Amino acid sequence: MAQLWGGRFTKATDQMVYDFNASISFDKRLYRQDIEGSLAHVKMLAQQGILTEEERDAIIAGLEGILADVESGVLEITSEYEDIHSFVEANLTERIGDAGKKLHTGRSRNDQVALDMRMYVRDAVKETDRQLLQLLKVLQRIMEENLDTFMPGFTHLQKAQPVTLAHHVGAYFEMFKRDRSRLVDIYKRMNYCPLGAGALAGTTYPLDRDLTAQLLGFDGPTLNSMDSVSDRDYVIEYLSALSTIMMHLSRFSEEIIIWNSNEYRFVEIDDAYSTGSSIMPQKKNPDIAELVRGKTGRVYASLMGILTTMKGLPLAYNKDMQEDKEGTFDAIDTVNSCLPLFTGMLDTMKFNKNVMEASAKNGFTNATDVADYLVNHGVPFRDAHGISGRLVLKCIAKNKALDDLTLEEFREESDAFEADIYDAISMKTCVEKRLTEGAPGEAAMRKVLEINKKYLESVH
Ligand code: ARG
């Protein structure tokens, strides 16, 4: 048991209590943030005359040594320490002697852990953003290549109107673009430094909080010390953003699973991204998509967990908050594995363009266009809707697509039909005439691709 307290105790901690209380098994992940925070703190303490320059230099050398040794694997973070803060401080004192004991001057583990977690989440936000950008680049490529790959657009999972693969994928482009903008917002809001808040009420030492904030790349210090040690909003916001990302990935996965089925055959998942069955030799399963869909649950769970942990807490720090870590780490690990795998799966996926187009044709997705044709020939829309519906019925009875009806068959329902009906309801016309902003028509899509291209090149 190595702990940072004990002076007011007359008995050793019960081992079970110690184990229950200890957080080293998971907060050891924070070693780098913990050391970087301490480096900034000690530089500031010396600048303020609270530590001597010799003490500062000894502590810096000690901390840098610990960091290097942990990273090279020479120094292992073991469970003999209560938490990562105790581990670093104990090792420091072992290395440099009594000067090490001065590191914690003007600081509490409450502001220390608030800082460590904030820095960890801050890095994670950036990494998620980077991975989303990779995904968006793949989506953009698929869009560029499939402006005229016709496919059915669905509502209620029923074929509705024809769209293109570019347009369908473009919907996900918008979702993941919004996900990135959420991360940018979160980053801005969270990028204030809690170090110097002490246990809850600041400290009597003349700390320069602007300096530590600046050294650690924050936009400034937080403005209320009680809030600083008890705020976990940024964890909640980030987990909420991750949940939304997973929800989007999960919807896309669901579509890929459907498209990959024998009934659809719209896509073929690359062998490198699918798995077989131990008993059914014919199977090629979309496991990656299924796992991404499945793992969405645990990311939501982390969000629910921290929301529930925080809901009844009085100000300021409470030990409950130690529960912010495992769920957050698990969610980060989950998204960090889902995003690149999903991107890789998509990047290598084959789209069966002919199957998609045939499916759009066979699903009466141009029935609205038949009605629109009639409207353009003076038939009121309500009547046109009825005529088109009766033609669909006729097609079902004859097992034909609308395009395959003879002109006589069309004219049995309305003499407004002329020979140009075939052109008017061809897949190409149906899609290309849809030119409102955001619609699947090629000219409309090209404008969007141009905007996307600029967006992907911009840095923010
Ligand atoms: N392990 C604690 C946490 O993660 C660190 C802060 C402990 N502070 C305290 N006063 N015991 O929240």
pLDDT in tens, 414-457: 999 999 999 999 999 999 999 999 999 999 999 999 999 999 99
Nearest to 333 by CA among 166, 170, 109, 127: 127
Residue type, 51: L
Reduced to 3 states (helix: H, G, I; strand: E, B; else coil), residue 285 is: strand
Comparing 204-213, 230-239, 280-289, which segment has the lowest mean pLDDT?
Answer: 280-289
CA-to-CA distance for 375 and 387, rounded, in angstroms? 11
Pocket test for ligand 1, best of 322, 323, 324, 329 (most atoms within 8 A of CB): 322
Are the C-beta atoms of residues 189 and 227 closer than 8 Å to each other?
no
pTM of the model: 0.94
Query: Separation of 109 CA from ligand 1 center, angstroms?
Result: 6
Pocket test for ligand 1, best of 21, 85, 110, 321 (most atoms within 8 A of CB): 110
- Ligand 1 in contact with 109 (CB < 6 A)? yes
| Confidence grade of residue 113 (pLDDT, cut at 50, 70, 90) | very high
- Ligand 1 in contact with 110 (CB < 6 A)? yes
Q: What is the pLDDT of residue 2?
A: 67
CB atoms within 10 A of CB 326: 15
Q: Active-site residue 41, yes or no? A: no
CA-to-CA distance for 282 and 284, rounded, in angstroms? 7
| Confidence grade of residue 460 (pLDDT, cut at 50, 70, 90) | low
Query: Separation of 183 CA from ligand 1 center, angstroms?
Result: 27
CA-to-CA distance for 169 and 370, rounded, in angstroms? 26
pLDDT digits (tens, 9 = 90+) for 301-325: 999 999 999 999 999 999 999 999 9
Query: Separation of 186 CA from ligand 1 center, angstroms?
Result: 24
Mean pLDDT to the nearest integer, 85-104: 97
Query: Separation of 113 CA from ligand 1 center, angstroms?
Result: 7
DSSP-derived letter for residue 81 is B
Task: Using the predicted structure, report yes or no on whether residue 233 has a pLDDT greater than 70.
Answer: yes
- Ligand 1 in contact with 322 (CB < 6 A)? yes
Q: Active-site residue 38, yes or no? A: no
Pocket test for ligand 1, best of 8, 28, 113, 119 (most atoms within 8 A of CB): 113
